[in-house]
Amino acid sequence: MTELIINDGKSEEIVLILSDDELLLGGQKLKYEIYQVNPYFKLLRIGSKNYRFALCDREEKSVGYLTEGHYFRYSVQTRLEKAIDEITSHQKESQKIFDVKSPMPGLVLKIKKRSGDIVQANESVLILEAMKMENDIKSPSSGIIKELLADEKQSVEKGTLLFRIEQLTN
Cβ contact 73:99 at 8 Å: no
pLDDT-derived band at 22, boundaries 50, 70, 90: confident
pLDDT of residue 5: 55
pLDDT digits (tens, 9 = 90+) for 44-93: 888 788 878 777 666 666 777 677 666 667 776 777 777 777 777 665 55
Enumerate domains of the chain plus CATH numbers. Answer: 2-77 (3.30.700.30), 96-168 (2.40.50.100)
Smallest CA-to-CA distance from 150 within 117, 118, 109, 120 is with 109
